[in-house]
Amino acid sequence: MEQTARVSESISRRPGRPLGGQLVVDREHVLDAAERVIRRDGAGSSLEAVAVEAGVTKPIVYDRVGGRADLADALAERLADRMVLATRTALAGETLSQTGLTRFIEANLRTVADHRELFLYVTGGSTEQTAIGRLSLAERSTTPLTKTLAVWRSGIQQDPGVAEAWAFGIVGMLQMVSQWWITQEGLSAAEVAGQISELLWNGLPGRT
């Protein structure tokens, strides 16, 4: 029952309005704590554990970030941001090349590997609309990709109307491949990235 509240003493853990009327533990602080606890204890971490790690109690978590679904959503946003950041250079410019695509995929895989548990936490939405909420990670990583695809398709005189469906498809492909890949042993990111890039660039029949 007794939670060893290992918390830095600097944080006021007593009730009462703090000096200056400023929040001691803000939203970002809670999200940081959530990331730490998920990285340490796995994707099955509870909100209680997050609260303890943040040095506060549960209702604070609810006040700062909302319920479990909101937490997953906020973390999805963070992960998506990192994903976009890591893959940005590969998608830069108006033109798209196969090597650029390969770099994009490899960066994607590496980001997932770097945030294994967080990735599982975010993609493993508990139930109901949370499962649909998995789309939130997808949607965020999809947005810039959709834009890139639409611009590029226009540039090469092809219908840009397919961009959104394609973006979701590509993101889904990468999510599943990531999930499969992180359970495999002895398969390098570069290798897998090359294979998937080959498929996405040349299509199933390949270039003849």
Partner DNA sequence: GCGAAAAGTTACCAGCAGTAAGTAACGGGG
Partner DNA sequence: CCCCGTTACTTACTGCTGGTAACTTTTCGC
DSSP code of residue 26: -
Residue from the set 93, 99, 162, 188 that interacts with a second copy by CB under 8 A: 162
Kindly identify the residues of this chain, within the stretch 164-183, that bind a second copy according to CB under 8 A: 165-166, 168-177, 179-180, 183
DSSP code of residue 104: H
Q: Which of 136, 149, 125, 132 is nearest to 79 (CA)?
A: 136
Residue from the set 60, 86, 151, 173 that interacts with DNA by CB under 7 A: 60
Residue from the set 32, 43, 57, 194 that interacts with DNA by CB under 7 A: 57
Could you say whether residue 94 binds DNA (CB under 7 A)? no
Could you say whether residue 61 binds a second copy (CB under 8 A)? no
Residue from the set 131, 154, 155, 188 that interacts with a second copy by CB under 8 A: 131
CA-CA-CA-CA torsion for 202, 136, 119, 188, nearest 10 degrees? 10
CB 106 within 8 A of CB 178: no
What would the DSSP string read from start to end of 61-126? HHHHT-SHHHHHHHHHHHHHHHHHHHHHHHH-SS---HHHHHHHHHHHHHHHHHTHHHHHHHHS--
Could you say whether residue 120 binds DNA (CB under 7 A)? no
- Report the residue count for the chain: 208
Residue from the set 32, 39, 62, 82 that interacts with DNA by CB under 7 A: 62
Could you say whether residue 127 binds a second copy (CB under 8 A)? yes
Cβ neighbours around 66 below 10 Å, total: 13
Could you say whether residue 43 binds DNA (CB under 7 A)? no
Could you say whether residue 125 binds a second copy (CB under 8 A)? yes
Burial of 60 (0-12, 13-18, 19+ CB in 10 A): middle
Query: CA geometry: angle at 163 spanning 166 and 109, to 5°?
Result: 45
Kindly identify the residues of this chain, within the stretch 11-40, that bind DNA according to CB under 7 A: 12-25
Residues that bind DNA (CB under 7 A): 12-25, 46-49, 56-60, 62-63, 67-69
Residues in the site for a second copy, rule: CB under 8 A?
42-44, 96, 101, 120-121, 123-128, 130-132, 134-135, 138, 149, 156, 158, 162, 165-166, 168-177, 179-180, 183, 192, 195-196, 198-207
